[in-house]
Structure 1
Amino acid sequence: MTETEKDRDILARTLWGEARGESLAGQIAVAWTIRNRVNDGKPKSWWGEGYIGVCQKPYQFSCWNKSDPNFPFLSGARAIPFREFAQAQIAAEQVMAGKVPDPTGGATHYYAIAMKTPPVWAAKAKQTLKLGGHVFFKDVP
């Protein structure tokens, strides 16, 4: 795999782990939060470098935590269901190639509405979008 193929694969795996129950539009929104972190303009970004670094930054996308039930699928120890992964791959490709605009308005964060209590950071951040099961934010302190 080339670096771009690896980046796209890791982004698609992250989308599957974080948003597999979402529509294509919902996965595209999650992908844009990752792209916004990748393209933050800082030479040594806190988020990590490139798609792989951002997606696999410890404790940022819980699906990559070794204790998360999604991790065996993301690491390749178990197979991701083809149809679910195909949609995540489409979302990853479209966002990385710039084929779809950013529906999140520059969001770098989101959380799942299913969480009983929103994260502390959400109280002082600017909400930019609510789509499917996620709420998106920028300007997070």
Structure 2
Amino acid sequence: MTRTERRERQRRRKLQIARRVASALLALVLILVCILLLTGGGKADTPEPEAAVTGPAAMPEPQRPEQEAVDPLEADKIALAKMVWGEARGCSTTEQAAVVWCVLNRFDSGGPYYAGCDTIREVVAQESQFSGYDPAHPVTADILALVEDVLTRWMAEKVCVGDVGRVLPAEYLFFTGDGRENTFTTEWRGGQTWDWSLESPYEE
């Protein structure tokens, strides 16, 4: 794959992410609108004048079931939660968050090895990459909540400038662990080792 093709692939992936974020925001807006309509928008109810009945009573229209909002990142969240459970479930919250950021760093990197991945789940499921990932692993509520928190910060980083609470810089794409703690590096072998110098937004 040439450099131009990699750039074009990366541009398409960023566009796909933007569309997912827009879909999620649109779903949230629709939910809020439905809530306002169901509650009357916070206005006091006023009685309406009764219409004179001049013919057969009109049959009420059948109510249509409300459609649930679809989360475009649902499959990615599940894969990340299962991976964190396998890679860092005994680690601190900050280290668990760093594992998620490591995956997102790979997804954003545009590197040739990850260029074929169109979703975060595909990055997680790459062969011989995250040994702790297993589709059979459980999804626990606490890890899933952390995954959602990191994804929210990651998406916010793409639309604004400022500190969103990263715990791992974007250049760190690799990590190894011993079951108790993980070490993050910029290269598969060698490179810089992360020193945890960023302030963590999580209370340990």
Asked if Structure 1 and Structure 2 have the same fold, meaning a TM-score greater than 0.5 normalized by the shorter chain, the answer is: yes
Residue 110 to residue 43, structure 1, CA distance change in 2 (3 Å): closer
In the alignment, does 2:100 pair up with 1:31? Answer: yes
**4+ runs deviating over 4 angstroms:** none
Match of 1:88 in 2: 143
Query: In the alignment, which of 58, 66, 78 is matched to residue 9 of structure 1?
Result: 78
Matched positions, count: 113
* Gap regions ≥5 residues in structure 2: 1-69, 155-163, 198-204
Match of 2:136 in 1: 75
Query: In the alignment, which of 117, 122, 126 is matched to residue 53 of structure 1?
Result: 122
- TM-score, L = length of structure 1: 0.65
Match of 1:101 in 2: 165
Q: Structure 2 CA distance, aligned partners of 1:130 and 1:47? A: 30
Q: Which has the higher contact order (CA 8 A, sep 6+)?
A: 1
Deviation at 1:101, TM superposition (A): 2.3
Amino acid at match of 1:87: D
Give percent identity, aligned residues only.
24
Deviation at 1:97, TM superposition (A): 1.1
Residue 44 to residue 108, structure 1, CA distance change in 2 (3 Å): closer
Match of 2:176 in 1: 111
The structure with more strand, counted as a fraction of residues: 1
